[in-house]
Chains A and B, each alone.
Chain A
Amino acid sequence: MNEDENTLKKNGQGGAAVLTKPEAAGKRKQVFSEVMLSVRDLYVSFRTFGGEVQALRGVSFDLYKGETLAIVGESGCGKSVTANTIMGLIPEPAGRIKNGSVLFKGKDLTKLDKSKMRKVQGVDISMIFQDPMTALNPTLKIGEQLTEGLRTHQKVSIGEARKKAIKLLEVVGIPNPEERMKQYPHQFSGGMRQRIVIAIALICEPELLIADEPTTALDVTIQAQILELFEEIQERTGVSIILITHDLGVVAKIADRIAVMYAGKVIEIGTKREVFYTPQHPYTKGLLASVPRLDLKEEELQPIEGTPPDLFAPPIGCPFTARCPFAMEVCDRIYPGTTDISVTHAVDCWLQDERAKKLFD
């Protein structure tokens, strides 16, 4: 992929609907080799009335240039806190990064001061949230919100910024962009607002886009349009994407790799195929079995019974012990180490231990 290719091409505007057919399989199977972001051993806690919430308890992963990494897991497992830590959005003093680093272009983002971080936020890394309204200022015209970032961070002229904004609105599929620049957020539908938020996030041509449940609030037909847009943008700009979602269908469609989180830890990580077809962690397996499949006939849904542990006093051993059908005595007492299943696939589970394998054979 050509990383200089920042020019985005115009969307095809045609009839009322288009039939899309994925190009030959393998299109997105390129090998990613250049690490662009390294998250290492992150511990993040929040002080609350009830005590200290240990939201992240040693999160590590790498992100490669040009890939889409999906982070999945039940609510409260730490997906948003992970994203917010990378973005420097942990609210202080209640929230605190207790340990670990976020390496981006040779810098540890957790050590940057506020003004340096603001520059990274505006230019290198952009974030999209679930609710587009929280990201938009209701009192400012769309045009102003689009050009603001360009003008403060890149000192571009008004005319130049406007041109770029109009072009980007076209790219994200907003009809009559020139007219729409003059309108306010409430004059757009939910799907259109999310497109605008995406345009704002892209205008400074970031290298990394973090999208936290970007389609959760949207309807499926609109979600399909937005996912298509993500793929298209990535193909054209080579932007890396961290996609947080709870929808495994969305993951199957656009992720390259998947990190599965549970109770503040990444418990399994691998390529999309490894995680879907040869999941190793009992939690990952449970998650996959609990989603209904539109394309299958009468299969039995298998919920994961119980709830995740309390993060005020997380278990010292494997946090899935209380819900795990395979739990052994050791699980409760000692956290399992990380086992590499392949170069790309790793899991934290005692079942990988040779002694356990014998036990279950």
Chain B
Amino acid sequence: MTKKVILSVKNLKRYFDVGRGQKLKAVDGISFDIVRGETFGLVGESGCGKSTAGRTILGLYNKTDGEVLYEGQSIHDMTDNERHRFLKKMQMIFQDPYASLNPRSTVYEIIAEPMQIHGMYKTQEEMRARVNELLEDVGLNRDHANRYPHEFSGGQRQRIGIARSLALDPEFIIADEPISALDVSVQAQVVKLLQRLQREKGLTYLFIAHDLSMVKYISDRIGVMYLGHMVELTSSKQLYDKPLHPYTEALLSAIPIPDPDIEESRERILLKGELPSPINPPSGCVFRTRCPYAMEVCGELKPKWLEKEEGHFVACHLHDEETLKRTDAVREVVGSS
């Protein structure tokens, strides 16, 4: 099977004006490709720019710089007609199923709305049949169609959100923390549902989350973000077996494992301090204020995005032989003067 790139994100930036001429660099130059049929996980702590990246990719936000290509076409330079067609192919699922569902609409209206906007069906019967089919696809039933969102549990509401996102038969779904607000046992239900739908409908997912355990479980490849930057990208297996970036290492180490023996004998890298402001990010490597290995060069030079092994990218001076050589030089100069 050949791997076909469906989405290509190139040096994407999205800044927000926050007054007094200041810019908040929510996304500051990220690059990655997503292959048709895969699940690409985007992880990082809150505020690192995951949602902004997702929204900019969908074109809900303008880009500040860079490019987003969907099947080769720049999504920020589409005509209205092209955009209308594009929005049928790419859909988004949100974290809070309650906030994203209109409380005054019935489940039927919620799921049928995008179909009406896009004039998908000629008759009411066809549309109702399709809504019923979608309800069954997501593990609900047609009796639920005439109820209101508040009558459902969190997990069921997320199922309604998923049904709505499937209304237009999309091929690509951006799921922005779709399970973060749910109970663990329900999270597993929704993740299994997303996996089944992917198999049945050949969907491609951009799965955004801060919970690495679940992301590891569902993703083929994972990109790790920190303060608007992507710091590491590789297969989900490689990321856990052989993380290269100090931030990835710390993140993995911070996640408690549900096993007392392991948890009690585990060494943990405890990061000090908190996220710096994206309005005034640190110079050089943005992680350097919390990095246990920070070197002089880290404050001076932005680390390059290097492919260390096939498909394993990292941005860290520790993994850049060229700068490492230079650092030694710098140290020697400093030491001898």
- Write the residues of chain A forming the contact surface with B, with a CB cutoff of 8 angstroms: 14-22, 25, 28, 74-75, 189-192, 219-225, 227-228, 246-253, 272-273, 276-277, 286-288, 290-295, 301-305, 307
> Once bound together, how far apart are the Cα atoms of A251 and B274, in whole Å?
24
Q: Does B183 contact A (CB under 8 A)?
A: yes
Q: Does B291 contact A (CB under 8 A)?
A: yes
> Within B211-234, which residues are at the interface with A (CB < 8 Å)?
212-214, 216-217
Which residues of the other chain, A, contact B289 by a CB distance below 8 angstroms? 16
Select A287's contact among B185, B189, B213, B251, beta carbons within 8 Å. Answer: B185
Question: Which of B45, B156, B184 has the most A CB atoms < 10 Å from its CB?
Answer: B184
Select B268's contact among A224, A248, A252, A290, beta carbons within 8 Å. Answer: A224
> Once bound together, how far apart are the Cα atoms of A251 and B262, in whole Å?
12
The smallest C-beta distance from A305 to any residue of chain B, in angstroms, reads 7
Which residues of the other chain, A, contact B255 by a CB distance below 8 angstroms? 220, 249, 294
Which residues of the other chain, B, contact A293 by a CB distance below 8 angstroms? 213, 257-259
Sample of 16 A–B contacts (CB below 8 Å): A16-B271, A16-B292, A18-B270, A19-B269, A25-B265, A190-B46, A220-B251, A221-B45, A224-B256, A247-B256, A252-B257, A252-B260, A288-B258, A291-B258, A303-B185, A307-B156
Select A220's contact among B186, B210, B266, beta carbons within 8 Å. Answer: B210
> Once bound together, how far apart are the Cα atoms of A129 and B213, in whole Å?
25
Given contacts A16-B290, A17-B269, A17-B292, contact A305 B257 (CB under 8 A): no
CB distance A249 to B257 under 8 Å? yes
> Once bound together, how far apart are the Cα atoms of A167 and B287, in whole Å?
30
- Which single residue of chain B is at the shortest CB-CB distance from A303? B188
Given contacts A16-B290, A16-B291, A303-B192, contact A220 B269 (CB under 8 A): no
Q: Does B17 contact A (CB under 8 A)?
A: no
Which residues of the other chain, A, contact B185 by a CB distance below 8 angstroms? 74, 286-287, 290, 303-304
Which residues of the other chain, B, contact A19 by a CB distance below 8 angstroms? 267-270, 292
The smallest C-beta distance from A61 to any residue of chain B, in angstroms, reads 20
**Lowest 9 A-B CB distances belong to which pairs?**
A249-B256, A303-B188, A219-B45, A248-B258, A17-B292, A224-B254, A303-B189, A292-B217, A290-B188
- Which single residue of chain B is at the shortest CB-CB distance from A271? B260
Which residues of the other chain, B, contact A252 by a CB distance below 8 angstroms? 256-260, 262-263
Question: Which of B153, B210, B263, B290 has the most A CB atoms < 10 Å from its CB?
Answer: B263
Q: Does B5 contact A (CB under 8 A)?
A: no
> Once bound together, how far apart are the Cα atoms of A308 and B243, in whole Å?
39
CB distance B294 to A16 under 8 Å? yes
CB distance A17 to B291 under 8 Å? yes
The smallest C-beta distance from A69 to any residue of chain B, in angstroms, reads 15
> Once bound together, how far apart are the Cα atoms of A244 and B267, in whole Å?
25
The smallest C-beta distance from B146 to any residue of chain A, in angstroms, reads 18
- Which single residue of chain B is at the shortest CB-CB distance from A323? B185
- Interface 0/1 of B170-187, CB less than 8 Å to A: 000000000000011111
Which residues of the other chain, A, contact B184 by a CB distance below 8 angstroms? 74, 246-248, 287, 290-291
- Write the residues of chain B forming the contact surface with A, with a CB cutoff of 8 angstroms: 45-46, 153-156, 183-189, 191-192, 210, 212-214, 216-217, 240, 250-260, 262-275, 289-292, 294
The smallest C-beta distance from A352 to any residue of chain B, in angstroms, reads 23
Which residues of the other chain, A, contact B192 by a CB distance below 8 angstroms? 301, 303
Select B274's contact among A189, A301, A303, beta carbons within 8 Å. Answer: A189
Which residues of the other chain, A, contact B216 by a CB distance below 8 angstroms? 292, 294
Which residues of the other chain, B, contact A301 by a CB distance below 8 angstroms? 188, 191-192, 217
> Once bound together, how far apart are the Cα atoms of A28 and B260, in whole Å?
12
Which residues of the other chain, B, contact A20 by a CB distance below 8 angstroms? 267-268, 270
Which residues of the other chain, A, contact B265 by a CB distance below 8 angstroms? 22, 25
Select A302's contact among B188, B213, B253, B257, beta carbons within 8 Å. Answer: B188
- Which single residue of chain B is at the shortest CB-CB distance from A302? B188
The smallest C-beta distance from B87 to any residue of chain A, in angstroms, reads 31
CB distance B256 to A250 under 8 Å? yes
CB distance B259 to A276 under 8 Å? yes
Which residues of the other chain, B, contact A286 by a CB distance below 8 angstroms? 185
Which residues of the other chain, B, contact A246 by a CB distance below 8 angstroms? 183-184
CB distance B186 to A291 under 8 Å? no
> Once bound together, how far apart are the Cα atoms of A250 and B192, in whole Å?
24
> Once bound together, how far apart are the Cα atoms of A304 and B153, in whole Å?
15
> Once bound together, how far apart are the Cα atoms of A223 and B254, in whole Å?
8
The smallest C-beta distance from A83 to any residue of chain B, in angstroms, reads 18
> Once bound together, how far apart are the Cα atoms of A290 and B250, in whole Å?
25
Given contacts A249-B255, A251-B258, A303-B192, contact A221 B263 (CB under 8 A): no
Question: Which of B192, B264, B294 has the most A CB atoms < 10 Å from its CB?
Answer: B264
> Once bound together, how far apart are the Cα atoms of A288 and B184, in whole Å?
9
Which residues of the other chain, A, contact B213 by a CB distance below 8 angstroms? 249, 291-294
The smallest C-beta distance from B249 to any residue of chain A, in angstroms, reads 10
Which residues of the other chain, B, contact A225 by a CB distance below 8 angstroms? 270-271
The smallest C-beta distance from A309 to any residue of chain B, in angstroms, reads 12
Which residues of the other chain, A, contact B187 by a CB distance below 8 angstroms? 290, 303
- Which single residue of chain B is at the shortest CB-CB distance from A18? B270
Select A224's contact among B154, B156, B217, B270, beta carbons within 8 Å. Answer: B270
> Once bound together, how far apart are the Cα atoms of A275 and B106, in whole Å?
42
The smallest C-beta distance from A219 to any residue of chain B, in angstroms, reads 4
> Once bound together, how far apart are the Cα atoms of A74 and B189, in whole Å?
13
The smallest C-beta distance from A342 to any residue of chain B, in angstroms, reads 16
The smallest C-beta distance from A117 to any residue of chain B, in angstroms, reads 31
> Once bound together, how far apart are the Cα atoms of A22 and B253, in whole Å?
13
Which residues of the other chain, A, contact B275 by a CB distance below 8 angstroms? 189
> Once bound together, how far apart are the Cα atoms of A224 and B155, in whole Å?
27
Given contacts A17-B291, A294-B213, contact A74 B186 (CB under 8 A): yes
- Which single residue of chain A is at the shortest CB-CB distance from B190? A303
> Once bound together, how far apart are the Cα atoms of A221 and B287, in whole Å?
13
> Once bound together, how far apart are the Cα atoms of A222 and B192, in whole Å?
29
CB distance A22 to B271 under 8 Å? no
CB distance A219 to B188 under 8 Å? no
- Which single residue of chain B is at the shortest CB-CB distance from A25? B264
Given contacts A224-B254, A290-B184, A290-B185, contact A18 B272 (CB under 8 A): yes
Which residues of the other chain, A, contact B269 by a CB distance below 8 angstroms? 17-19
CB distance A273 to B266 under 8 Å? no
Which residues of the other chain, A, contact B210 by a CB distance below 8 angstroms? 219-220
> Once bound together, how far apart are the Cα atoms of A305 and B259, in whole Å?
23
- Which single residue of chain B is at the shortest CB-CB distance from A272? B260
CB distance B251 to A276 under 8 Å? no
